Structure 1
Amino acid sequence: MDYLNEKLNELLVNYEEKLSKRFDYLKNEFITVRAGRVDTRVAERVTIDYFGTMTPIKNLANISCTDARTIVINPWDGSVLATMVKALAAANLGTTPVDDGRVIRLVFPQLTAETRKELVKKVNKLAEDTRVGMRNERRDAIDQLKKISNADKLSEDEVKNVEHDIQKMLDDYIGNVNAALAQKEKDIMTI
């Protein structure tokens, strides 16, 4: 996959980087979809206005799980407790934050069969959106390849080889998406 034309090498490196970013984004989105056990990263993404700056809750509090369904948020500065509760309520996490004056508890309900099916639909949509985005990246890369080919008068064989490399990278990343999706579906459906 190392070509004499530097533009082709740069094209492939940029293309793989874009695919990697899309896959990383999908993995981060999968984290927010609850399977059997809650993950503290669900609450870490929520931000609040802290002295005029939007700050993630993870930078202002200890966040921990006490059991499979409960997240406890212990702010270091008690003055932000009410603001955190409002932000967590607005974040639509699937639960209502409970404030006892010192800590915030997020108690998530047990997943029903219907909820599990909805979550599977949600992760399938996330995966499909990622696959579509990756295919769009392939189309853009092939368009760039055509521009490079016209400008640098590349041979037809070289263009076909690069197109093959682009398609192979896409196939590999879509395989990774499908594997991550299958694992997440399994996690969601496991009781």
Structure 2
Amino acid sequence: MATQNEILDTAKDKMQKSIASLRQELASIRAGRANASLLNGVTAEYYGAPTPLNQIASITVPEARVIMVTPYDKSALDDIEKGILEADIGINPANDGDNIRLVVPQLTEERRKEISKKVKAAGEQGKVAIRNVRREAMDAVKKGNKNDDFTDDETHALEDKVQKLTDSQIKDLDDVIAAKEKEVLNG
């Protein structure tokens, strides 16, 4: 039997994880300015094993539209360049022998609109995840009522709390989406 607080805490935790997941996904979407998180999913062969880029190189943003990748081991430079090319992030690396520079191109208006659509789609997926958590919580509340763990009044009050939690989390998610859209469109 789950208590009322356990149901609410579990729902809130899962909803916040959905928002955190969306934030992470949106961080990897290019908005016309350099951001080290663009390279989060990039791996390079290092001594025969695929290794995340941030473990074998320093990733910095020296200018607004430049990402600099400086390997800790210069012998890994070519493998890092190959890994960036294979990741297909839409930016060609420039290898100067010591570092790899990635110049983030200015986005065209058309490309900004495409990216904005991706942001909205990711946001919709986040909303679906939050609604699924709400449904799980409501099912737990109904199950508690059916098992006589909660009275009818407690059930209605708890359903109300779950709905208010859902509404506030969806508002937070909308704020995250709006901020990313603004960044993309104004970039």
Question: Does TM, scored on the shorter chain, surpass 0.5?
Answer: yes
Matches of 1:135 and 1:168, distance apart in 2:
12
Matches of 2:74 and 2:144, distance apart in 1:
58
Counterpart of 1:12, as a letter, is L
Identity among equivalent pairs (%):
37
TM-score normalised to structure 1 length: 0.89
Higher deviation after alignment, 174-183 or 49-58: 49-58
Please list the CA deviations of residues 90-118 of structure 1 after superposition, one character each: whole Å capped at 9, or x if unmatched: 22211122222221111222100001000
Q: Which residue of 2 aligns with 1:65?
A: 61
Q: Please tell me the root mean square deviation across aligned C-alpha atoms, in Å.
A: 1.8
Q: Which residue of 2 aligns with 1:187?
A: 183
* Residue 166 of structure 1: how far off its partner (Å): 0.8
Matches of 1:163 and 1:184, distance apart in 2:
32
Matches of 1:162 and 1:88, distance apart in 2:
50
Counterpart of 2:161, as a letter, is D
Q: Which residue of 1 aligns with 2:87?
A: 91
* Residue 133 of structure 1: how far off its partner (Å): 0.9
- Structure 2 residue runs of 5 or longer lacking an equivalent are none
Q: Which residue of 1 aligns with 2:29?
A: 33
SS at match of 1:105: strand
Counterpart of 2:184, as a letter, is I
Matches of 1:189 and 1:47, distance apart in 2:
29
Q: Which residue of 2 aligns with 1:134?
A: 130
Matched, 1:124 2:146: no
Higher deviation after alignment, 164-173 or 101-110: 101-110
Alignment of 1:41-190 (within 5 A): 41-51=37-47, 54-190=50-186
